[in-house]
Structure 1
Amino acid sequence: MRIRTTLCLTLAATLSACGVSPDPAEPQPIETPIPVEPDGGIGDGAEPIPEVTDETDTGAVMIPTRFQGVWDYEGGTCSPESDMRMEISGDEILFYESIGTLNAVSIDNEDAIVTLDMEGEGDTWQQSTRFSLVGEGDDLRLHTTEGDQPKQDDEYPAKKCPE
């Protein structure tokens, strides 16, 4: 009985310290819930954060994720010494003896047309390349052609290298 009384007194003291009255006759404060917007926002009128995808205008130019990775000619070895190997990241492409820094990207249906500021072998130039994906699974190939030309087959399609 003594333990029960001690527990009740301890509970009452704890509740009182938290601003909760253990006396049901005493009026309880009414808490107003924060309104929730349909998209899960807290009701403050702020716009929801837009979903970021490769094609949205986030202020940053980026090569779409589906083209990123290490690619080499379908008959190549994927080794760093392969002269047709390219490493595509979001903002640059590393080639065998040159590097291209992304300047612009435009989307044409499923293709991406990338404009690169190139540097290699002591020279600089600008290059526009169209990236197209053909096939799927193990047969997926990256076709690269002139960016200002309509979509066409690539004589040297690239396979995705294991990472």
Structure 2
Amino acid sequence: MRTAILLIGAFALAACGSDPAPSEPDVTESPIPVEPDGGIGDGAGPPPEEALANRIPTRFHGAWDYVGGTCDLASDLRMEVSGSEILFYESVGIVTATEAEGDAVIVDLAMEGEGETWQQRTRLMIEGEGNDERLLTSDGDQPRVVDEYPSKRCPPQQ
């Protein structure tokens, strides 16, 4: 009997020294920080240069038509530029590579239209600002030449 009382006392003392339920760690939620380059704070940084290599820069994006054109969808000199393609009147060019050339960019396009496919290198350059902004295009395999058909930026379609 004496041994039973000693064992009960020992268990009681042991129980007093231990915490019956471990406490939860103090977790305070904080927002994910935004990095200076626009990242979400995970330390990953900006996308690698290779990921951006096959994209037309944003400044060229939008619909463009010859300065004397109407910007109508049926205009045969109208083109729509996005990061990954250029849509022309009766053809489409998928960007396969880009190369910076000062303020210009040379775009390699895998072209398809009217049942044909071909490769094309096109130089894109913007001159002017506001209403005087013009997109100039030329053969990317040749030295720069004056664009005889400069394009104006078209207003967004309604």
* TM-score calculated relative to the size of structure 2: 0.69
- Please provide the CA RMSD for this pair: 2.6
Q: 1:109 aligns with which of 102, 105, 108?
A: 102
* CA distance, structure 2, for counterparts of residue 80 and residue 72 of structure 1: 10
Deviations 1:89-148 (A, max 9, x none): 110111001111111100011111001011111111000000011111110000000001
Question: Which of 35, 44, 59 lines up with 1:49 in the alignment?
Answer: 44
Residues in 1 aligned to 2:120 and 2:100: alpha-carbon distance in whole angstroms: 16
CA–CA separation in structure 2 for the residues paired with 1:151 and 1:60: 22
- Tell me, in whole angstroms, the C-alpha distance in 1 between the residues paired with 2:53 and 2:143: 26
2-structure distance, mates of 1:122, 1:58: 31
Aligned partner (choices 80, 88, 96) of residue 87 of structure 1: 80
Q: Percent identity?
A: 52
Match of 2:113 among 96, 111, 120: 120
Following TM superposition, where does structure 1 have runs of at least 4 consecutive aligned residues deviating by more than 2 angstroms? 46-52, 55-60
Long gaps (5+) in structure 1: 1-18, 20-30, 32-38, 41-45
The counterpart of 2:89, out of the listed 75, 89, 96, is: 96
Q: How far apart in 2 are the matches of 1:59 and 1:94? A: 20
- Is contact 2:108-2:119 (8 Å) kept? yes
Does 1:68 find its partner at 2:61? Answer: yes
SS in structure 2 of the partner of residue 107 of structure 1 = strand
| Separation in 1, partners of 2:56, 2:73 | 21
- Quick one: distance in 2 between partners of 1:132 and 1:117? 20
Distance in 1 between the 2:94 and 2:52 partners? 16
Gaps of 5+ in 2: 1-22, 27-33, 36-40
Residue 31 of structure 2 is matched in structure 1 by: none
Q: Does the 8 A contact of 2:111 with 2:119 survive in 1?
A: yes
Q: TM-score, normalised by structure 1?
A: 0.67
How many residues matched? 123
